[in-house]
Amino acid sequence: MSSIANLSAPQLRQAADLKEKIAALENELSQLLGSTAKVIAAPVVGKAPKKKGGMSAAGKAKVAAAQKARWAKINAAKQAPAAKPSVPVAKAAVAAKPAKKKFTMSAAAKAKISAASKARWAKVNAEKK
């Protein structure tokens, strides 16, 4: 069976017509048999499927309000204390995390790691020979 990409325009048109005929025949058969199953609709060629999901207007409004509140809090922390911020300064200061202290390694620790690394590589190189 060849893929759809390898078909020419007339072949694609013929394939679409055959699918529509099959769907119509299946509908007719289900009507004859008295099936309570849902009638199969003929596929519409050229239309994209409808997008499902999304967010309601109320949901979008809540998200927008929350984002505005976050930005107001950030801007209030940046403002000078003389101006009245919408959020108290104490709360804004609690929200900002203090910078972590940088870890510095002692010279002795660096030398110890360097010596261990050199010994490890010397062992690897000795095994190669």
The residue ranges of every structural domain in the chain are 7-44, 65-95
C-alpha torsion sign, points 123, 125, 128, 129: negative
- The model carries a pTM of 0.26
Tens digits of residue pLDDT in 43-59: 666 677 777 778 899 99
Share of the chain above pLDDT 90, in %: 40
pLDDT bin (cut points 50, 70, 90) of residue 41 is: low
Question: What's the angle, vertex CA 53, arms to CA 47 and CA 54, rounded to 5?
Answer: 105
